[in-house]
Structure 1
Amino acid sequence: MERELPKQVFIDGCEQISMEFEPIGFRFAKSGPHASRRAGDWAFKISFQSNYLNVGGEYVELVVHASVYSKAIKEWDERSAWPASASDWVAGGQLGNLRTPHHWRTWNIVNPHTRQAEIANIVANIQTTVLPLFERFDVPRKLAEQVACSQVPGFMFPENAVRFVLWQLGPEAAENCLSYWVARLPSPDAFRSERDVPTLPDRLALGSDTNNLARVARAMKIGLSL
């Protein structure tokens, strides 16, 4: 029996999953591959990822990511002092990281006899984890109030949480959010040392939460007395 091509198995699986969400406005794009829906300035995307190590007849990996975008936050970036390139990305992550504890969640859809069960499981996980995240953006200010004082799914990196709160609620709430995360750093003193050295770079970069929170505090002039 001829083995199915991993790429085709993957794409067909993505399309089947996406079809389950067409009734609520999601549309599949093979070029992504992803399923997306727009609501005003907001865009919600369910993206699919596979693995270059796939083997026909043995392994076809499928990973789900969720992302929330907004034209308005990109415009806010452009007119504010936010220390990063303007971006319409707001929140999201790999499906397993939208839960606590975080973990990398994958499915193997290679077996034609169990594939429909695996796809049904992926759909169920999107329904219980991804869609509730998207629904929280129906009332963004209420969501921002929660992000300001707690760890909320989709805001895995502290600087993204502070950005969202600052955009929605302003400096005072953003300072509360910053304080929440600084208190959870391995060394709050390291944050203060980084924040108080004006010659260090202000731009966010791949690095530690400590460094990036310090750069946010310095650039946005919040948390300067923490």
Structure 2
Amino acid sequence: MDSKIVFLYSCNEIANQLGDFKIYEKGRRLKKVASDKDIFFEITFQTGFNNHSSHIMINPSMAIYSTSLKKWQIENIKSEFCTGLIYANHIGYITPLQTWKKWNLAGLSHEKSISEIVKNIQKFVLPIFEIFDAKETAVEFLKNKGTKFNPYCEDSLGPLAFLLCHTDHETSELFFNHYIENSINKDKIISFFEKLKTDKEIDLNHSEFVDAAHIKLAFINNLSLK
């Protein structure tokens, strides 16, 4: 069977075991809208360019978006590439696998791979989506625990814009400082933050290192380091 057909068939197999997700792009993208209709969740599947009859790879990721956040980002970041993204990750990095995991859908591997992907989504992805089903629950979690949604998730500044958009100054500041306090790059972040005080222009669409754009966003929104 053609590798593309196997891949798309497998995407739909997974979707059929996950409940009320709508299917887009022939199964490559699954979408579900939260209770408040503003936040929505996506699970996406990618494959490789070198597939053949015994090697058909699937690479799953998850993401959380907000429609109102996208509008806020466009107004405050002024970039045409704003998407309203709150948080995203490859499924392998939020599970005990702790790697950029790809599964083989070909031959005897097919059933086992589908089963493992579904179980990982049900156990580790859907609980994160549940946290964001209501903004109040999401904000409270981020305020107290950052993005440590489970023992395998790393802390991230990704949801900072979401908090700036939907919460008060104090909550955003607590989230920001919690991340810095626990970051292995704490000194680098503090040094960069202090340097921003002397910069004449701050470009939110340029990131000198992984967290730089988020740190700039915190700075221009008057968040303070504690």
Q: TM-score, normalised to structure 1's length? A: 0.82
Give the Å deviation of 1:141. 2.0
- Per the alignment, residue 84 of structure 2 pairs with 88
Match of 1:131 among 126, 129, 140: 126
**1:100-111 mapped onto 2 (5 Å cutoff):** 102-111=98-107
- Per the alignment, residue 76 of structure 1 pairs with 72
Give the Å deviation of 1:130. 1.3
In the alignment, is the contact (CA less than 8 A) between 1:157 and 1:209 conserved in 2?
A: no
In the alignment, is the contact (CA less than 8 A) between 2:196 and 2:202 conserved in 1?
A: no
Aligned: 1:201 with 2:198: no
In the alignment, is the contact (CA less than 8 A) between 1:44 and 1:66 conserved in 2?
A: yes
- Per the alignment, residue 222 of structure 2 pairs with 221
Q: Distance in 2 between matches of 1:32 and 1:156?
A: 28
In the alignment, is the contact (CA less than 8 A) between 2:146 and 2:155 conserved in 1?
A: no
CA gap 1:209/1:68 in 2 versus in 1, 3 angstroms: same
CA gap 1:101/1:62 in 2 versus in 1, 3 angstroms: closer
The runs of 5 or more residues in structure 1 that have no matched partner are none
Q: Distance in 1 between matches of 2:137 and 2:57?
A: 36
Match of 2:176 among 175, 178, 187: 178
CA gap 1:176/1:167 in 2 versus in 1, 3 angstroms: same
Aligned residues: 217
Aligned: 1:47 with 2:44: yes
Give the letter for the 1:147 counterpart: L
Q: Distance in 1 between matches of 2:144 and 2:208?
A: 23
Give the Å deviation of 1:107. 0.6
RMSD: 2.6
Give the fraction of aligned pairs with identical amino acids, expressed as a percent. Answer: 20
Match of 1:98 among 89, 94, 99: 94
Q: TM-score, normalised to structure 2's length? A: 0.82
CA gap 1:102/1:207 in 2 versus in 1, 3 angstroms: farther
Aligned: 1:7 with 2:4: yes
Match of 2:113 among 105, 111, 118: 118
Match of 1:160 among 137, 158, 161: 158
Structure 1 segments (4+ residues) deviating >4 Å? 82-85, 153-157
Aligned: 1:35 with 2:30: yes
In the alignment, is the contact (CA less than 8 A) between 1:141 and 1:169 conserved in 2?
A: no
Give the letter for the 1:16 counterpart: E
In the alignment, is the contact (CA less than 8 A) between 1:191 and 1:213 conserved in 2?
A: no
In the alignment, is the contact (CA less than 8 A) between 1:190 and 1:210 conserved in 2?
A: no
Secondary structure of 1:92's aligned partner: strand
The runs of 5 or more residues in structure 2 that have no matched partner are none
Give the letter for the 1:178 counterpart: F
